[in-house]
Amino acid sequence: MSAEDIDRTLLTQMRRDDAAGLSGLYDRHAGRVLWLARRILDNSGDAEDIVQEVFLQAWNQRHRYDETRGAVVTWLLLIARSRALDRVRAARARVDAAAVRVEAASSLSSVTADPLMRIRVRVALASLPAAQRLVLELAYFGGYTHSEIATLLTQPLGTIKTRIRLAMRKLRDGLAGVATPHRSDESAFTVSLRERSADRVGCVPESSQR
């Protein structure tokens, strides 16, 4: 039985109001949830609180999980990321409430100096499917290698690379679909993401191969 099959079996137990299913998921994934929360919050105490909140929310929303939208561990990590970022936003009242992610904002600023372009990138990121958005954030804004992401999400490396490739394509299409005088900024942004991807896997950027 695969890791994903085990997770879904445990979730089925939860849906039957069997707390043993929740205990099983906690034992399997609490470490991953804690690791992600610590990277976002940089505070062990808050991160440990997030772990408890994530599994409580998973129990309360056990009937809402949709397996067609991703693996159980991805669902748990998305909950963790959302709750951790809520804490970041609450602690930083000056952050624009429309910003999709606090940490991503600083990375976007280094890619393009155009405020309008940064807003459009945030909107484009928010429009991606949750699983694709998560791997893109981990790879380009979190600094994780593709292999590290595969380990974190318990997904095959090929699946992670495919999600990143699809996310990049949708992101480029989304940015290219809006008329703007700042095409150079769009190009710089997408080229920067390709170069970061090359750094993650140790290959030559696509633009350098032409």
CATH number of 1-94: 1.10.1740.10
Q: Would the pLDDT of 111 be above 90?
A: no
Question: Hunting for tokens 């940064």 — which residue is that?
Answer: 118
Kindly report the average pLDDT of the chain as a whole number: 76
- CATH code for the domain defined by 96-202: 1.10.10.10
| Residue-level pLDDT at 115 | 67
pLDDT at 54: 95
Can you give the pLDDT at residue 147? 87
- How far apart are alpha carbons 194 and 188 in whole angstroms? 10
The CATH 1.10.1740.10 portion of the chain extends over: 1-94
- Position 103 scores a pLDDT of 47
**What is the average pLDDT across 175-198?**
52
Residues of the chain with CATH 1.10.10.10: 96-202
Q: For residue 7, is pLDDT > 90?
A: yes
The residue-averaged pLDDT of 112-138 equals 77
Distance CA 125, CA 5 (A): 30
- What number is the average pLDDT over the span 82-93? 77
Provide the residue type at 38 as one letter: R
Is the model's pLDDT at 137 over the cut of 90?
Answer: no
Q: Of the ranges 12-26, 33-47, 162-176, which one carries the lowest mean pLDDT score? A: 162-176
What pLDDT is stored for residue 87 in this prediction?
A: 83
pLDDT per position as a tens digit, 26-66: 999 999 999 999 988 877 888 999 999 999 999 999 999 98
Query: Residue 128 above 60 pLDDT?
Result: yes
Closest CA to 78 of 2, 131, 12: 131
The answer to whether the beta carbons of residues 72 and 8 sit under 8 Å apart is yes
Please give the Cα distance from 210 to 203 (Å, whole number): 14
Q: Which of residues 154 and 207 earns the better pLDDT score?
A: 154
pLDDT exceeds 50 at position 99: no
Tell me which range, 5-9, 126-130, 151-155, is most confidently predicted by mean pLDDT: 5-9
pLDDT at position 197 is: 53
